[in-house]
Amino acid sequence: MRVSTPALPLRRFLQTIGFLLALVVFSPTQAKAQTWLVSTDAYVKIGVMDKFGQLGGYTAKFVVINQETGKEYVLVKQVPKGQNGIDVIFPSEATEAEYFKTERGEAGRAQPGRYTWECQVGGKKVVGGRFGFSEVANDVTLVGKN
């Protein structure tokens, strides 16, 4: 015959209290604010294409001129036969093997302002245009408990 002792219910009661205490101790504290960083890159994609592929391979010289400073940035690309055209990005990263740069090697930057561009093939302007970079402002969002 089994005799029940008060030790078993007391043990379960203490385990339950210990579990609840652990939940309180290890529960997350009040929510803290989260800060997000933001980055913005402005760039322009420009290109040239020999529509009917009459030239075969050719050399395309892209020239971008900052209208405020007068600085000229140049990028020369070889277009292989069978590839009628090419697109380039201004400003290109100075870490790339070929990038837009001045005669002194200064890399092009997306400074606010107006720009003109042209592409020369065989020393002659074949296409061109203009674009502008505006001031860019980044907002930092603080997400917190309302």
Distance CA 86, CA 89 (A): 10
Query: Rounded to two decimals, what is the model's pTM?
Result: 0.67
Per-residue pLDDT of the chain (146 residues; tens, 9 = 90+): 555 555 667 778 778 887 777 777 777 666 566 677 777 778 899 999 988 888 889 999 999 999 999 999 999 999 998 888 999 999 988 788 889 999 998 999 888 999 999 999 999 999 999 999 888 666 665 566 55
The DSSP call for residue 135 is -
Q: Which CATH class is domain 44-133?
A: mainly beta
Neighbours of 130 (CB within 10 A): 11
